[in-house]
Structure 1
Amino acid sequence: MKRRLLVLFVIFAAALALALWLGNFLLREPGYVLIVRGRTELETSLAFLVLVLLAGAFALVLLTVLAGPLWQLLTPASWSHWRRRRAGSLRLQNGLLALAAGHWREAEEQLRAAANQTDWPLPALLAAAVAARQRGDGDAERYWLRNASDFPRGRLPAALLAARFALTDNNPTRARELLDAERPRHGDSPVLLQLLAEAYSRAGDWAAVCELIPTLRRLSLDANLDLRERRAWHARMRQAATQPGFTDAAQRRESLHRLWKKMPAELRHEPQLRAQYAGYLAQLEDGAGALKIVTGELDKRWDDGLPAVLEAINDVPPEQLLTRLERWLQERPGNQVLLLTAGRVALKAKLWGKARSFFETAAQSGSGTAMAELARLYDALGDEPRARDMLHRQLGVQRQQLPSLPLPERGRTSDV
């Protein structure tokens, strides 16, 4: 349409310029024209005759330019093309409705016909791949995806759909191959990056997930992005602390320390991640470092998940740990986490009386774990009646957490 308008504009400008030139020329020399046919004579000026001829020529050209599309529209071939597009649109609609209703075979047949009758068959090809997958026909699924990928601008949608299928089939390696191939051209697609992050997570490549998060945060409004980032760093620290290639604790500890420094600053202040890092340090024979992290964090803001890290510290005198725990207990008397941790550290220090006191205080608050620890301690001290009583109390606490279900009456037996 733009091309035709441009042609009309050029013709009009040329005709106007020629008319002005001829008009100026003929006004100076109007001339004389006499047309005789039989007894009929027509006398006029040359200027008027030239203007009439130019006007007729311009009208003929204009009619030719405008009548061409109209003539094409009225030809049988044009009507056939219109009917073909109309039929393709109806079949695409019917195919999508059948797909939504779960009629997979009917949907695929309708979509197959629509792909051959529409000017833009990509939606029909992708929907046909979904229908073939639901039918369990892998060959047909790959056929439709391949055709969609070959269509102009269809490579990315086909790759995204194939990657979703691969993730559904628990094949993150295949999904990663498909998405990595498209990332250089479509690295700003949030959908592609989210699927890629899912593929990395399924494959256990947490380093790749962490590297992808900043780009996702810039392009995506995913509300679960912060949770995904925390999970990725959590898993990445676990890998660093347990990787089989390192033969001693010092190597794992150094790897974990380097990873901790790479972590974003705001995540290093997450209580769960700090507790995990401190716990790994304690397990890797750096109890002093773990104690420093725990005390530094709890002096700023309290979190019940951190004191339990002290139970895993074996290379710091338990008396020193117990002193710190007792100081916190003075600020938070009755805190069950502190009481339970203090009791276990007291056991490491072989301070049986203190341990029993801590466990008894926690048990009075209803801690089933403290009751179990206390029963074990009573039994080790030879106080079997108290041990049995404490186990009975623990069972009562646990019984309250069980669902309400029918039970046989006491003293009666039931058929097995």
Structure 2
Amino acid sequence: MKRGLLLLLIILFAGAWLGEKMVQDPGYVLISYDRTTIETSLWVLLVIGLVSFLLAHLLLRLLSKARIPTSELRHWSERRALRNAHRRTLKGLQAFADGSWWKAQRFLGQAAPRAELPLVNYLVAARAAQEQGDDKAADTFLQQARQRSPQSATAVDIAQAQLQFDRGQFEECLATLSALQAKLPKHSQVLRLLHSTLTQLGDWQGLASLIPSLRQNKILPEESLQALELRCYREMLGHTLAQLPPETEHETRVQALNRAWQNLPTKLTSDESLVCDYVSQLTTLGEDARAEIFLRDQIKRNWNETLVRIYGRLKGENTHKQLEIARKWEKDHPNSAALLLTLGRLSMRNEHWGKAIGFFEQSIALQPSAEAYAELCRLLQHLGEHDKLATRLQEGLSTTGAGLPNLPMPEKMAALND
């Protein structure tokens, strides 16, 4: 009661004091904006300000009592942002599908922070930037993807490796993929990229080591894997001597070549192309005698016409014994044109000229070949058998030139006069 009376007295006193002041000096306030002016007394302006404050306070209290949850406002704002991000993402993906790389990069990059799947936005935006040659932007998008989705580091690393491969950064790509393979040894995309990267680098040893994983995880068809395996070991065998320093001693070179052959998988040691490569490198080193022994064993285990033909080109330690070995093969393969050609050559090494002519003629009768005709004609020329030589030359031209087009030829007399 006393407090209410005291408050009333204070209000009355304040009102009387303010009333006296307003009468003594009402004040003057001028507000001007553009061409509009407002004139009023100071006390009226203060009253308007006070009333405005009270009204605003009252409005806020009413809103508070209405219990409108602020979380709803926040959720509405978030849903709106998500819808915008979704719309931009769809536009970006459509642009990417149409090949409009700059649009795809722009829309996907803008939508990524609010996208439902930001990883997709960042990865596709990185690819769009890459297509425009903007490597820096592509790397930035990948870095953002890694920061935003650390749980998807594998997907980002694979995308990084793919971009490095497309840029021709094969060494960097190999480093990225090697780290991935250590964590995910059976990941098909990692294995595919590793296969392509190692092929580009010409790392045949690495490819050979990768083949078991490619086969186990069915990354390539078996036929392709077999061809790849053969190529790897042919390349490794073919580069054996080239990798040695020029000053390497002869015997060391031979030993290195032999080790390379011994390191081949057993199933490939009978492959014709590998055998031919090995023999060729032995002969390059001047090791015909070793090549003859090796090739003799190969032919004994697995008859092969190509190897038999090569055998006739080699000069073993004992040419007479070499000829006798080939004669024994004739019993089991009497109709082999390749063997008869080889017998003719080995007969020449032993200076059995008549027998050599016979073998060459038999080979031609079974299967005419330019090689057999060339050997026979060369021998006939050195023996002075010019008539036979002319006949065989004509036969050889008719045989080897069978595929020539039908063209007009000059008359003999006209040719002589010209």
Distance 1:346 1:160, change over 3 A: farther
The equivalent residue for 1:244 is 244
1:13-412 pair list within 5 angstroms: 75-99=75-99, 103-148=100-145, 151-152=149-150, 155-164=153-162, 167=165, 172-223=170-221, 224-245=224-245, 247-284=248-285, 286-287=287-288, 289-311=290-312, 313-364=314-365, 365-401=367-403, 407=407
The one-character-per-residue Cα deviations of 1:136-193 (angstroms, maximum 9, x if unpaired) are 4444444445545555355544544554455556554343233234333333323323
Which amino acid is the alignment partner of residue 208 of structure 2? C
How many residue pairs get aligned? The number is 339
CA contact (8 A) 2:170 2:200 kept: yes
Partner Cα separation in structure 2 for residue 192 and residue 408 of structure 1: 62
Partner Cα separation in structure 2 for residue 356 and residue 169 of structure 1: 61
The equivalent residue for 2:41 is none
The equivalent residue for 1:64 is none
Distance 1:117 1:278, change over 3 A: same
Partner Cα separation in structure 2 for residue 317 and residue 234 of structure 1: 30
Which amino acid is the alignment partner of residue 369 of structure 2? S
Larger Rg: 2
**Runs of at least 5 residues in structure 1 that lack an aligned partner in the other structure:** 1-68
TM-score (norm 2): 0.67
CA contact (8 A) 1:285 1:314 kept: no
Q: CA deviation at 1:372?
A: 2.3
Distance 1:85 1:330, change over 3 A: same
Which amino acid is the alignment partner of residue 187 of structure 2? S
Q: CA deviation at 1:232?
A: 0.9
SS of residue in 2 equivalent to 1:187: coil
Distance 1:73 1:190, change over 3 A: farther
The one-character-per-residue Cα deviations of 1:332-391 (angstroms, maximum 9, x if unpaired) are 223222223333333333333333222222223221221222233333333445445444
Which amino acid is the alignment partner of residue 240 of structure 1? T
Partner Cα separation in structure 2 for residue 340 and residue 300 of structure 1: 21
**Runs of at least 5 residues in structure 2 that lack an aligned partner in the other structure:** 1-68
Partner Cα separation in structure 2 for residue 160 and residue 407 of structure 1: 61
The one-character-per-residue Cα deviations of 1:218-270 (angstroms, maximum 9, x if unpaired) are 33342122221111111111222443326233212212222333322222243
Question: How much is the aligned-residue C-alpha RMSD, in angstroms?
Answer: 3.6
Partner Cα separation in structure 1 for residue 84 and residue 141 of structure 2: 21
SS of residue in 1 equivalent to 2:193: helix
Distance 1:389 1:200, change over 3 A: farther
Distance 1:399 1:314, change over 3 A: closer
Partner Cα separation in structure 1 for residue 84 and residue 391 of structure 2: 86
Distance 1:208 1:375, change over 3 A: same
Distance 1:409 1:370, change over 3 A: closer
Q: CA deviation at 1:86?
A: 2.7
Greater CA drift, 139-148 or 181-190:
139-148
Q: CA deviation at 1:327?
A: 1.8
The one-character-per-residue Cα deviations of 1:377-416 (angstroms, maximum 9, x if unpaired) are 33333344544544444443343345x6x85575699xxx
Q: CA deviation at 1:283?
A: 4.4
CA contact (8 A) 1:274 1:293 kept: no
TM-score (norm 1): 0.68
CA contact (8 A) 1:148 1:158 kept: yes
